[in-house]
Amino acid sequence: MKKTILVPRQGQAMLDDALRQIKQPSRRLFLQRSLTLGGLSLLTGCNVSDPSGIETALAAVSRFNDRVQGWLFDPTKLAPTYPDSMITRPFPFNAYYGEDEVEEVDGDAWRLELSGLIADKKPWTLPQLRALPQETQITRHICVEGWSAIGKWGGVPFSHFLKRVGADTTAKYVGFKCADDYFTSIDMATALHPQTIMALSYDGQELPPKYGYPMKLRMPTKLGYKNPKHIQAIFVTNTYPGGYWENQGYNWFGGS
């Protein structure tokens, strides 16, 4: 049965104005998820005649959602895994640019740069990463645009790598800079989650360029835009780093 929610006249006007903001393509899906009754209660304190008031209120909703998702996140709970027979073939390409614009990275010259609250900042080569313990997972990629696909990823458990390089695991954030100019950041609890891996392979083969060669971060507990590809640099910090989509209004925590 469809439920009807009664909204006071003032609240309806504010909701209508907020929904007009949602029509912006880069924010639509995120705000549709974020504009809950809790968000509406925050909106009642803003000036509906001032567009910046709606923007400020929506940003407050996003920050509130980040905090709630962080509180609810269970660092020991595993995302579902699947058999080989359920792998989506071909696995979809997804980026903020077209497939014909995929970054071509020279794996021989590539170095993973480390900075911030990390004891051993020496750069890493691909052979060095491949020499570390590897794991394989078949998990579901969930896109904020509403589709999902199951893929098979192999690589280094990120928690193992962070401990290996002496990262401060009490810090708040881990950030990523990528060869395709993408950047994002995650919470430390997700970085240490047992299913968060530095993916070096896909479906038993070297990671293809369109999926993030030479290395991407695979996190089945996060939405797709939180899984950076073509990673060139990792840093650990207590200063909020933001991200490419997050700075445009997408939810920062991005839990799936």
Query: What is the tens place of the pLDDT at every residue in 191-205?
Result: 999 999 999 999 999
Tell me whether strands 135-142 and 205-206 are parallel, antiparallel or unpaired: unpaired
Q: Which of 34-43, 59-68, 99-108, 149-158 has the lowest mean pLDDT?
A: 34-43
Per-residue pLDDT at 2 exceeds 90: no
Model confidence pLDDT, tens digit, residues 145-188: 999 999 999 999 999 999 999 999 999 999 999 999 999 999 99
Predicted pLDDT of residue 70 = 52
The whole-angstrom separation of Cα 101 and Cα 154 is 25
The whole-angstrom separation of Cα 108 and Cα 177 is 19
Predicted pLDDT of residue 120 = 98
CA-closest candidate to residue 191, choices 149, 256, 225, 235: 235
3-state per-residue secondary structure call for 175-198:
EEEECCCCEEEEEHHHHCCCCCEE
Per-residue pLDDT at 136 exceeds 50: yes
- What lies within 8 Å, CB to CB, of 166 at 6+ separation is 118, 119, 120
The whole-angstrom separation of Cα 183 and Cα 4 is 41
pTM of the model: 0.76
| Residue 186 CB-density burial (10 A; 0-12 exposed, 13-18 middle, 19+ buried) | buried
The whole-angstrom separation of Cα 54 and Cα 59 is 9
Distance, C-alpha 213 to centroid of its chain: 17
Predicted pLDDT of residue 75 = 77
pLDDT band at residue 66, thresholds of 50, 70 and 90? Answer: low
CA-closest candidate to residue 31, choices 19, 48, 17, 43: 19
Model confidence pLDDT, tens digit, residues 74-95: 778 999 999 999 999 999 999 9
63 φ/ψ angles, rounded to the nearest 5 degrees: -65, -40
